[in-house]
């Protein structure tokens, strides 16, 4: 009887966690998970034209594909991701690619990150957050920094280049 009620307790606990993960998480101030396809990752890398010694950040780094592409070019890359499963998956992919010395994933909301140490930032957000992101970029990024936004334009900014639906902005 005790075993049965313990099992039931665990079942309800896991169910509650799944509920939080599936229903609540995407509402927490960011974007839901869509992967950037391989061709678009190449476009992003080309638009960023990262140079040796620069640091790049992917805001909402998903499975780490942009971090990995950057690290393969010898660039220090930091991803911020709120989904713990994606944090785990991306860390695994980075370790498998032997890029742990160049690519880092932080389990943290990008709203809580000071971006002033980055030369370039990548984001694949959603319409409702782009205005707030622009204000964050304007107050934290240094002049000359690049921002690449996948799909959603940054309101009030003029892109320097656009390829497919990917925009490059220079501050």
Ligand X SMILES: C[S@@+](CC[C@H](N)C(=O)[O-])C[C@H]1O[C@@H](n2cnc3c(N)ncnc32)[C@H](O)[C@@H]1O
Please give the residue ranges that form the binding site for ligand X (CB under 6 A).
29-31, 33-36, 58, 60-62, 65-66, 80-83, 86, 109-111, 124
Closer by beta carbon to ligand X, 86 or else 120: 86
Q: Cβ(44)–Cβ(148) under 8 Å?
A: yes
The string of DSSP letters for 78-136 reads EEEES-HHHHHHHHHHHHHTT-TTTEEEEES-GGG--GGG-SEEEE---GGGHHHHHHH
Nearer to ligand X, 118 or 124 (CB): 124
In this complex, which beta carbon is closest to ligand X, that of residue 54 or of residue 78?
78
In 10 A of CB 107, how many CB atoms?
14
Least distance to ligand X from the beta carbon of 81, Å?
A: 5
The distance of closest approach from Cβ of residue 52 to ligand X in the complex, given in angstroms and rounded to an integer, is 23
Residue whose CB is nearest to ligand X in the complex, by number: 30
Residue identified by tokens 């934290």 is 140
């Amino acid at each position: 009887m005790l075993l049965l009620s313990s099992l039931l307790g665990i079942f309800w606990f896991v169910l509650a966690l799944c509920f939080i993960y599936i229903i609540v998480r995407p509402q927490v101030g960011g974007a839901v998970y869509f992967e950037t396809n391989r061709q678009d990752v190449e476009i992003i890398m080309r638009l960023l034209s990262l140079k040796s010694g620069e640091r790049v950040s992917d805001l909402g780094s998903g499975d780490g594909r942009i971090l990995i592409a950057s690290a393969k070019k010898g660039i220090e890359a930091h991803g911020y991701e709120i989904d713990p499963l994606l944090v785990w998956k991306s860390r695994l992919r980075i370790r498998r690619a032997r890029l742990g010395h160049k690519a880092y994933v932080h389990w943290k909301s990008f709203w809580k990150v000071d971006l002033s140490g980055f030369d370039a930032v990548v984001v694949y957000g959603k319409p409702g957050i782009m205005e707030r992101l622009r204000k964050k970029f304007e107050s934290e990024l240094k002049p000359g920094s690049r921002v690449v936004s996948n799909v959603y334009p940054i309101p009030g900014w003029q892109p320097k280049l656009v390829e497919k639906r990917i925009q490059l902005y220079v501050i």
